[in-house]
Amino acid sequence: MVALFLFLLIKNSIVNADIFISDILRFAKRFGISIYFFFPIKQLV
């Protein structure tokens, strides 16, 4: 699951930032992960 997320992270970092953020929201919702988990990651990008 982490590998999948990293793949999506790398793949989507090339694409539009809005699409990237919406993909994170969709990913978090699908796996029931709190969105707050992604804020530190978002700041690293």
**pLDDT band with cut points at 50, 70 and 90 for residue 42:** low
Residue 45 has pLDDT above 60, yes or no: no
pLDDT at 27: 77
pLDDT at 40: 63
Residue 9: give the domain boundaries: 2-44
Between 2-13 and 17-31, two packed helices, what is the crossing angle to 10 degrees? 160
Separation between Cα atoms, residue 24 and residue 4, nearest integer Å: 12
Separation between Cα atoms, residue 33 and residue 14, nearest integer Å: 24
The per-residue pLDDT for range 4-37, each reduced to its tens digit, is 777 777 776 666 677 777 877 787 777 666 556 6
Separation between Cα atoms, residue 45 and residue 32, nearest integer Å: 22
Q: Could you give the number of structural domains in the chain?
A: 1
Q: Could you tell me which residues come within 8 angstroms of residue 1 by beta carbon, excluding any fewer than 6 positions away?
A: 31
Separation between Cα atoms, residue 45 and residue 29, nearest integer Å: 20
pLDDT at 30: 73
